[in-house]
């Protein structure tokens, strides 16, 4: 039986979920795939910290180099969040020809052209299905759809945290109560700015547009409005008009121009986007041939994201990769990977080089 050795960066909300799934389902996965998914090393800042899972002490390390420079590690899984340090981890792993899985929508949305170039140049593979819409395998759907059809529009509710908050407002909660409830259930980070400002949804939309239309639009170039101005009174007024409020992300190709936007919309109650509640996401894909398809699933929380990470690991086992179209020519210029230096936070000091 083949063994796939995994080096895991981060064992927080998502990382602990990934570790737990692999520990509990490893034998079943092995029986189905003929591959043993072995968590060989876990890099964390605080090895003695209490966690939701019991990781054997011998697997713990505070030195990222122990994973990135170990030829026995087949797959690097990055789940630490943030941008520059995570980018350094992902880049170095790709430069070393490794397989990489990440849920980091910020890094992927901003640096996907660079990371694709590193894949092509050094032979690694990058998977990031977990970065977009949690449990919905939307990137696979888009890639398969493009084999036979042309996508002309994407639309959806792509941030589970804000949808949870808006659902509470629709039930009569105050904004403060809705935020507190989202935080208690683990749908909001300690700093919820990315969710509330719409930035999180813009990151996801940037990634989806790259796959659907073959063009990279950095998230900061997407017209974005969050839900800061939405109150219980706003939602009540919408309901009186037979509508509800949803944070909608949309991308459409009109006369050759790609237009992307994120913002709160008044959605009629008969619209399918109005039907999703709590942390559930919905993505509509409109094609020139088959018309509109809709995909629904949980988009926030530890287990949906962790399941998506494990699904990416299974894609590595199956030797899949994302569709390679003409996107490279359409991407904006990227910085050289040598411009990025991993911080010493996880014990890494070497410069990333192409």
Report the alpha-carbon distance of residue 47 to residue 36 in Å, rounded.
Answer: 25
347: left (phi over 0), alpha (psi -120 to 50) or beta: left
Instruction: Please state, as a whole number, how many other Cβ atoms lie within 10 Å of the Cβ of residue 228.
Output: 12
Q: Do residues 232 and 172 touch, judged by C-beta distance below 8 A?
A: yes
Q: Do residues 292 and 271 touch, judged by C-beta distance below 8 A?
A: no
Report the alpha-carbon distance of residue 107 to residue 19 in Å, rounded.
Answer: 22
User: Which residue in the list 41, 105, 175, 204 is annotated as catalytic?
Assistant: 204
Residues 6+ apart with CB under 8 A from 244: 166, 170, 235, 238, 266, 267, 269, 274
Q: Do residues 298 and 310 touch, judged by C-beta distance below 8 A?
A: no
Structure tokens, 177? 């109560």
- Maximum distance among all alpha carbons in the chain? 62
Q: Do residues 82 and 14 touch, judged by C-beta distance below 8 A?
A: no
Polymer length in residues for the chain: 354
Q: Which residues of 279-307 are buried (b: 16+ CB within 10 A; e: fewer)?
A: bbbbbbbebeeeeeeebbbbbbbbbbbbb
Q: Do residues 156 and 248 touch, judged by C-beta distance below 8 A?
A: yes
Q: Do residues 265 and 225 touch, judged by C-beta distance below 8 A?
A: no
Q: Is 41 a catalytic residue?
A: no
CA-based torsion, 20, 10, 87, 352: positive or negative: negative
Report the alpha-carbon distance of residue 181 to residue 4 in Å, rounded.
Answer: 39
Cite the active site residues: 204
């Amino acid at each position: 039986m083949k063994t796939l050795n995994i080096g895991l960066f981060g064992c927080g909300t998502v990382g602990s979920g990934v570790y737990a799934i692999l520990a509990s389902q490893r034998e079943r996965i092995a029986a189905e795939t003929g591959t043993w998914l072995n968590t060989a090393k876990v890099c964390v800042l605080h090895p003695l910290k209490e966690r939701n899972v019991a990781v054997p002490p011998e697997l713990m390390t505070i030195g990222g180099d122990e994973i990135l420079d170990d030829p026995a590690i087949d797959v690097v899984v990055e789940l630490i969040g943030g941008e520059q340090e995570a980018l350094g981890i992902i880049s170095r792993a790709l430069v070393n020809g490794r397989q990489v899985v990440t849920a980091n929508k910020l890094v992927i949305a901003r640096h996907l052209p660079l990371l694709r170039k590193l894949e092509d140049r050094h032979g690694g593979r990058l998977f990031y299905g977990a970065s977009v819409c949690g449990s919905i395998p939307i990137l696979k759907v888009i890639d398969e759809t493009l084999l036979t059809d042309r996508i002309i529009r994407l639309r959806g509710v792509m941030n589970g945290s804000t949808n949870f908050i808006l659902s509470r407002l629709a039930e009569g909660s105050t904004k403060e109560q809705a935020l507190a409830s989202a935080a208690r259930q683990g749908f909001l980070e300690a700093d919820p700015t990315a969710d509330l400002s719409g930035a999180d949804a813009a990151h996801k939309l940037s990634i989806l547009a790259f796959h659907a239309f073959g063009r990279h639009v950095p998230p900061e170039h997407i017209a974005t409005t969050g839900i800061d101005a939405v109150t219980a009174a706003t939602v009540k007024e919408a309901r009186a008009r037979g509508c509800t409020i949803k944070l909608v992300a949309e991308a459409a190709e009109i006369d050759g121009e790609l237009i992307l936007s994120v913002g709160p919309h008044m959605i009629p109650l008969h619209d399918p986007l109005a039907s999703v509640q709590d942390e559930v996401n919905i993505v509509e894909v409109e094609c020139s041939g088959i018309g509109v398809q809709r995909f629904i699933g949980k988009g926030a929380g530890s287990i949906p994201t962790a399941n998506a990470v494990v699904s990416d690991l299974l894609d590595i086992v199956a030797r899949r990769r994302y569709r390679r179209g003409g996107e490279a020519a359409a991407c904006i210029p990227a910085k050289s990977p040598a411009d990025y230096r991993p911080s010493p936070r996880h014990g890494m000091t070497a410069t990333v080089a192409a």
